[in-house]
């Protein structure tokens, strides 16, 4: 605020504000009295208070923007930390390799149990589970589902009794035959086995399939088995 005398008995007071577009001019007529001086002082205090409020508001806005900027940078930093942790976890899993292995038998504690012959072929369901690390084998359906892309090794065996019914089974990938174990004999017990190493994609299914008019058997000694494990990921 600055007073400028313009004429006798007249005093013009200019109040300057930092954020105002133009200065405000206040002209008052005064006389040489103490009251006139007090009026000028009051106007000066008013202008100073307004200027102080404007500065406080600007500082508050600046601090608020700084806090928002800090929060944004903190969130970005936390996201980078999570991404790095996930990457480290994936690298550790890839280095160690996923563990997948199963071994099952057709019967659990049966004395002498035949399966087949059927007019229509069916997937064999194995009742005895010796090991199933990775939970890739489903003992309810008889299917093994590859949890990752990689090379797997499978083997299976079947026991049968010679006679009119044929003894054998197919190892299949996604419903397509890979290898077969098959044997014939006029009479007496016979056994056949086979195996294969194969590349599986994530989600591929492998099962042992009993063809139509074929029969196998098993008991508590576990002759008819199915097993597999992951050799390495790809």
CATH of the domain at 154: 2.60.120.40
The secondary element (H helix, E strand) that includes residue 64 is helix 34-96
Domain count for the chain, please give it: 2
- Domain, as residue range, for 82: 2-94
Residue 111 is predicted with a pLDDT of 86
pLDDT of the residue at 128: 97
Query: In the listed set 52, 77, 94, which residue is the last one of a domain according to the structure?
Result: 94
User: Do residues 112 and 50 both lie within one domain?
Assistant: no
Q: Which residues of the chain have pLDDT under 70?
A: 1-51, 93-96, 164
Is-contact 156 192, C-beta < 8 A? no
Query: Rg of the chain over CA atoms, in angstroms?
Result: 45
Q: Are residues 152 and 43 in the same domain?
A: no
The last residue of one of the domains, among 79, 94, 109, is 94
| pLDDT tens digits, 175-213 | 999 999 998 877 778 899 999 999 999 999 999 999 999
- Rounded CA-CA distance 172/20 in Å is 84
Whether residues 80 and 109 fall in one domain? no
Whole-number Å distance between alpha carbons of 117 and 109 = 21
Q: Are residues 75 and 144 in the same domain?
A: no
- Degrees, nearest 5: CA angle 218-205-208: 20
């Amino acid at each position: 605020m600055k007073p400028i005398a313009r004429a006798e008995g007249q005093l013009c007071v200019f109040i300057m504000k930092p954020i105002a577009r133009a200065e405000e001019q206040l002209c008052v007529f005064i006389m040489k009295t103490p009251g006139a001086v007090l009026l000028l002082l009051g106007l000066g205090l008013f202008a100073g208070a307004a200027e102080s409020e404007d500065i406080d508001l600007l500082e508050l806005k600046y601090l608020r923007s700084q806090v928002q900027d800090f929060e944004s940078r903190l969130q970005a930093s936390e996201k980078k930390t999570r991404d790095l942790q996930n990457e480290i976890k994936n690298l550790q899993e890839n280095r160690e390799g996923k563990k997948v292995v199963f071994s099952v038998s057709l019967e659990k504690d049966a004395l002498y149990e035949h399966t087949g012959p059927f007019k229509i072929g069916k997937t064999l369901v194995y009742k005895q589970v010796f090991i199933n690390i990775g939970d890739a084998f489903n003992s309810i359906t008889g299917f093994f589902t590859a949890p990752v892309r990689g090379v797997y090794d499978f083997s299976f065996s079947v026991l049968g009794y010679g006679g009119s019914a044929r003894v054998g089974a197919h190892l299949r990938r996604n419903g397509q035959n890979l290898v077969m174990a098959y044997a014939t004999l006029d009479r007496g017990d016979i056994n056949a086995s086979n195996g294969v190493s194969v590349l599986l994609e994530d989600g591929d299914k492998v099962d042992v399939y009993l063809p139509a008019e074929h029969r196998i058997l098993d008991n508590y000694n576990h002759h008819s088995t199915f097993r597999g494990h992951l050799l390495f990921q790809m």
